[in-house]
Every structure is written in structure tokens, then in C-alpha cells.
Amino acid sequence: MEGNITVEFCTGEKPLILNEAKSYIVEKVVIAACKHVGIGPLPRHLFGLWSPSELLWFPPSKKLELCNGKKWYLLLRLRFRP
């Protein structure tokens, strides 16, 4: 059984699905998700990944393992509000 990471967006864009590697670093997933929706490198650091099932924000250094068919459902969200 193969795992994957699904990143949903508030904009209604098609979800980003990653399943090519055995693990991903959250920072790399955020970069891929931002590229997917056209967010440039300058504001990219304002975004993070939120897990609605675990009710937590993932730190950029977190490693997401896809072993044993693990499926991650995450939301790309704005982390900071001025």
C-alpha cells in the first residue's frame, strides 16, 4: 500500500498530491505547494502546513514519512497575521 501527502488550498485550486518519495520535509512540501498556486519565494515563509485531523501546525523541519500506506491530509495556510 502506497502513502501520499495531499495538500488542499483555500483558493479552490486542484489539490497537490505528493507520493514519489518515501518521506518529505515539511519545508519542501510548503515550497512545492506555494509553487503550485503561484506564491513567490518572498512571501513563501508566511505559509505553513496545518493538519485538521491532528489539530496542529507542522514545524518546517518535520519529516513526513509515507511508510505503511500513511496518508497525510494537510492544508496550506497563512501562519502569521499582522
For 27-44, the pLDDT digits (tens) are: 999 999 999 999 999 999
**pTM reported for the whole predicted model:** 0.90
Domain with residues 4-78, CATH architecture: Roll (3.10)
Instruction: Name residue, grid cell 513526513.
Output: 64
How many Å apart are CA 77 and CA 46, to the nearest integer?
A: 9
Instruction: Name residue, grid cell 503550485.
Output: 36
Q: Tell me: pLDDT of 51 over 90.
A: yes
Residue 16: Cβ within 10 Å count: 19
Residue type, 59: P
Report pLDDT for 80: 74
